[in-house]
Amino acid sequence: MAKNGVNLTMFFLFIITYCYWESHVKLADFITTSPNPIHLIKDVFILAGQSNMAGRGGVIERNWDGIVPPEIQSSPGKILRLGGDLNWEDAEEPLHADIDVNKTCGVGPGMAFANALIDGDPRRFPVVGLVPCAIGGSGIDEWSRGGRLYERLVRRAAVAVERGGEIRAVLWFQGERDTINITDAESYKGKLQRLYIDLRTDLNSPLLPVIQVALASGEGSYVEKVREAQLGIQLPNVITVDAKGLQLQPDGLHLSTQAQVQVGEMMAHAYTTFRLLSLVTGIN
């Protein structure tokens, strides 16, 4: 009888210890102290487009103010970026500093996106890998298959998944350059759809989610024409968040730091909602 009592006591101690561990210790805590969190990256996101994806938040007269709100703070071991040298490292703003090298980079939507994923579900997203590819001032023609920007994106994406990760989505914010003349604006929809189809083919993911941003501004007078094209994309698993009305920098073209935080969080919400619906419906 005494022996049974000891066994029962040990059993309850085990249950209590396990419950404490379950409620107080997160998987991410172990990952942070892991000597090599790179091997734990399973969720990879491609960041592509032009300057508002590369990040100009806080940049005034070619100088970044260095302000980093809580929503875009670095999270060592939990949010990583693939650097320009094709090595993984802890992510921090400016994410595109060694990618969009001919411009001054500031805050973009990437860190807000990653932090929102982790904060929303740290067990599902213990480590997020970001692959910056955006280049300021690039038009849609420069992203066509065979072009330098397209081929670099595909090459960087391939490196990002070499150790077992999976590309979960492409985050796309571009089009400001294509508002300058009517010909570019009118042909934008077809070229954008072609880009998404080609990327899905070359990244070996026929239904790869694309989270795109409808423009808040443009370099020319055909902003609404390009927005109409973006909002009219009719491909599966293309989700649009709208930046119209968000705060702009004094240049009237680039999103402010706070607006970039909003865009990143909207993109994260769009992705997690899409993922939940996919799980419920069984459709990828």
Residues serving a catalytic function are 51, 251, 254
Closest by CA to 230, choosing from 184, 284, 180, 174, is 174
> From CA 40, how far away is CA 29, in angstroms rounded?
13
> From CA 124, how far away is CA 42, in angstroms rounded?
10
CB atoms within 10 A of CB 210: 22
**DSSP of 122-184, one letter per residue?**
TTT-SSEEEEE---TT--GGGGSTTSHHHHHHHHHHHHHTTTS-EEEEEEEE--GGGGSSHHH
Burial pattern 236-271, b for ≥16 Cβ within 10 A else e, equals ebbbbbebeebebbeeeebbbbbbbbbbbbbbbbbb
> From CA 3, how far away is CA 75, in angstroms rounded?
49
Tokens of 56: 């100009």
Q: By CB neighbour count within 10 A (0-12 exposed, 13-18 middle, 19+ buried), where does 70 fall?
A: exposed
> From CA 199, how far away is CA 206, in angstroms rounded?
9
Q: By CB neighbour count within 10 A (0-12 exposed, 13-18 middle, 19+ buried), where does 148 fall?
A: exposed
Type of residue found at 12: F
Residue with tokens 């102290």: 33
